[in-house]
């Protein structure tokens, strides 16, 4: 397997507001697939990267074919490095109240997800590719550099102000610009998503949300709540979210776990179980009472009133993240329009009010609990039992249970006397008949394993 070398480079500068005089920063390897090597500063020989490896200023990362790695920055931002890429982490420090990181990419592919702070203070970044310079404040974009050093930037959320030779172009969501001709253009999101690298990054960026509502329309219970679809459309205006397919949900609406999630669930545990069953990170349950009736003034107008009450639960911790309600009314010449628009207006208010709660909960590190989750990819039902027995035999592991199995993906729950990295290392060492476990990802409370 050969390494890819290049002559020109991209420089990425990440910065955010801080409070200390000067503190050295680092990044942690949270996902690893294939062959990735690191050459530490002042060292000559590269060594294989491992999950949990700390990356410091001056370290050089090299990925080979069919390889990729994700680095978690201390400010919560993600830097992902694709296959056949060479990058050097030149700076990561907090100086004069500003966190500053410089990453030099000689050739290859990088994906940057800059986190915005909850209080609204932006995390700034600058990307430089030859004569092209991009200024960023909280966004998601990718940069690709070819062997000749020509770079292109695709923006997926937010905006990047790109300059070249004194000329500036503001590249917004779903727009791209190349350093060679410096012509801004829109790109087709559906066509772009055919790229495996793009699909993988988008999946890792997003918080998977499941929406389950009980809906009454003019006093009658709806078999298929339209309010779920409308609420989902409002959620999806935020790039960070993906929504569990409502069409698939309709086919399993009689599932006992879904019914329990909508029943008396004061602590959120029933909702959390239902969400985990269907692969969600967050579940939103709610009661929607909406009417559309003719106005007393006549003129063929209808008044739509939507009263919505929702609860937001983080599935992995069963934490009640938020509980909100909203009532909105609207007048429309069509009854269906009055109903839809009243629900949409209430949904928009609620989505805006829960955004920060969801993101804050998602970013919060859970260091107190001993419950860890193991995601198995490309697994068969026959292999799950053997894997569970293998994990149960690890010293310190108890209460290994299967939460879900959908589409060759399974989710296990494990009580472990230690941290996720220790369990990941021990799981990778398991010797199972006809089954190889490739640990590709690890975070505070989750391990990701590809089964071969």
Phi and psi at residue 14, in whole multiples of 5°? -110, 135
Give me the sign of the Cα torsion angle 283, 406, 193, 201.
Answer: positive
172 versus 136: which is more confidently predicted? 172
CA proximity to 328, closest of 349, 298, 352: 349
Q: What is the pLDDT of residue 60?
A: 94
State yes or no: pLDDT of 355 exceeds 70.
yes
pLDDT of residue 120: 44
Q: State the pairing for strand pair 319-332/22-24.
A: unpaired
Given this model, what pLDDT does residue 74 score? 80
- Which tens digits make up the pLDDT trace of 81-138? 999 999 988 888 877 767 777 788 889 999 988 765 444 444 566 766 656 677 776 6
DSSP-assigned states of every residue in 225-238: -HHHHHHHHHHTTS
User: Is 39's pLDDT higher than 70?
Assistant: yes
Residue 134 CA to residue 419 CA, distance in Å, equals: 39
Q: Which of 212-216, 279-283, 353-357, 391-395 comes out lowest in average pLDDT?
A: 279-283
Contact between 281 and 287 under an 8 Å Cβ cutoff? The reply is no
Residue 5 has pLDDT above 90, yes or no: no
Mean pLDDT of 132-157: 84
Confidence band, pLDDT 50/70/90 cuts, at residue 13: low
Q: What value does the mean pLDDT take over residues 405-409?
A: 77
Residue 132 CB-density burial (10 A; 0-12 exposed, 13-18 middle, 19+ buried): buried
**Neighbouring-strand partners of residue 145:** 108, 151
| pLDDT 10s digits, 49-80 | 988 899 998 999 999 998 999 998 887 778 99
Is pLDDT at 193 greater than 90 in this prediction? no
Q: Which domains does the chain have, with CATH numbers?
A: 10-204 (2.60.120.1440), 224-363 (3.40.50), 371-451 (3.30.70)
Q: How many CB atoms lie within 10 A of CB 136?
A: 27
What are the φ/ψ torsions at residue 438 (nearest 5 degrees)?
-110, 105
Strand runs labelled E in 226-301: 241-243, 282-294
The pLDDT of residue 229: 92
Q: What is the pLDDT of residue 271?
A: 84
The angle subtended at Cα 25 by Cα 21 and Cα 30, nearest 5°, is 155
Confidence at residue 430, expressed as pLDDT on a 0 to 100 scale: 93
For residue 273, pLDDT beyond 50: yes
Whether the Cβ atoms of residue 136 and residue 153 lie closer than 8 Å to each other: no
pLDDT reported for residue 440 = 86
3-state DSSP helix/strand/coil % of the chain, to nearest 5: 20, 45, 35
Task: Count the alpha carbons within 13 Å of 379 in the hemisphere toward its beta carbon.
Answer: 28
- CA nearest to 151, candidates 10, 304, 322, 282: 10
Q: What is the structure's pLDDT at 122?
A: 46
Express each pLDDT in 303-338 by its tens digit.
999 999 999 998 877 888 999 999 999 999 999 999
Write down the pLDDT at residue 444. 65
pLDDT, average across residues 227-236? 92
Where is average pLDDT lowest: 12-16, 158-162, 265-269, 275-279?
12-16
pLDDT, mean of residues 11-17: 50
pLDDT band at residue 2 under the 50/70/90 scheme: very low
Average pLDDT, the chain: 83
- For 387, the token pair is 């894997």
Confidence of residue 297 (pLDDT cuts 50, 70, 90): low
pLDDT at 258 over 60: yes
Taking the C-alpha atoms of residue 255 and residue 249, their distance in angstroms, rounded to an integer, is: 10
Encode pLDDT of 408-423 as tens digits.
888 898 988 877 878 8
pLDDT of residue 284: 94
Nearest to 441 by CA among 30, 36, 27, 28: 30
Judged by DSSP in three states, 32 sits in strand
What 3-state class would DSSP assign to 93? strand
pLDDT at 31: 85
pLDDT of residue 137: 67
CA separation for the pair 379, 399 (Å, rounded):
20
Higher pLDDT, 408 or 370: 408
């Amino acid at each position: 397997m050969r390494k890819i070398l290049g002559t020109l480079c991209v420089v990425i500068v990440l910065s955010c507001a801080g409070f200390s005089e000067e503190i050295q920063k680092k990044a942690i390897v949270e996902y690893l697939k294939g062959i990735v090597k690191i050459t530490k500063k002042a060292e000559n020989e590269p060594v294989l990267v491992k999950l949990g490896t700390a990356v410091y200023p001056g370290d050089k990362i090299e990925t080979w074919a069919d390889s990729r790695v994700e680095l978690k920055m201390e400010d919560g931002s993600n830097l992902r490095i694709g296959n056949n890429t060479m990058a050097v982490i030149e700076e990561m420090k907090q100086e004069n109240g500003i966190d500053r990181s410089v990453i030099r990419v000689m050739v290859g592919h990088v994906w940057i997800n800059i986190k915005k702070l909850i209080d609204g203070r932006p995390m700034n970044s600058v990307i430089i590719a030859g004569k092209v310079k991009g200024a960023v404040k909280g966004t998601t974009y990718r940069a690709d550099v070819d062997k000749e050093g020509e770079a292109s930037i695709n923006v997926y959320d937010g905006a990047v102000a790109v300059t070249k030779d004194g000329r500036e172009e503001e590249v917004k969501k779903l727009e791209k610009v190349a350093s060679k001709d410096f012509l801004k253009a829109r790109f087709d999101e559906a066509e772009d998503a055919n790229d495996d690298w793009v699909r993988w990054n988008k999946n890792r960026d997003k918080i998977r949300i499941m929406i389950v509502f009980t809906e009454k329309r003019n006093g009658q219970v709806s078999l298929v709540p339209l309010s779920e679809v409308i609420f989902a459309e409002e959620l999806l205006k935020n790039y960070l979210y993906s929504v569990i397919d409502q069409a698939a949900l309709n086919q399993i609406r009689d599932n006992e776990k879904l019914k329990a999630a909508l029943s008396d669930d004061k602590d959120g545990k029933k909702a959390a179980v239902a969400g985990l069953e269907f692969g969600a990170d967050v579940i939103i349950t709610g009661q929607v009472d909406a009417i559309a009736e003719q106005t007393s003034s006549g003129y063929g107008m209808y008044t739509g009133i939507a009263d919505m009450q929702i609860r937001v639960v983080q599935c992995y911790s069963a934490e009640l993240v938020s509980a909100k309600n909203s009532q909105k009314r609207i007048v429309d010449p069509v009854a269906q329009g009055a109903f839809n628009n009243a629900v949409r207006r209430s949904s928009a208010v609620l989505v805006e009010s829960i955004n920060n709660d969801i993101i804050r909960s998602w970013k919060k590190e859970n260091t107190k609990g001993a419950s860890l989750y193991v995601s198995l990819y490309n697994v068969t039902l026959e292999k799950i039992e053997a894997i569970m027995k293998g994990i149960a035999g690890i010293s310190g592991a108890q209460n290994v249970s299967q939460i879900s199995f959908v589409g060759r993906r399974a989710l296990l729950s494990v009580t472990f006397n230690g941290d996720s990295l220790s369990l990941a290392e021990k799981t990778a060492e398991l010797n199972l008949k006809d089954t190889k476990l490739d640990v590709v990802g690890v975070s505070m409370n989750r391990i990701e394993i590809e089964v071969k």
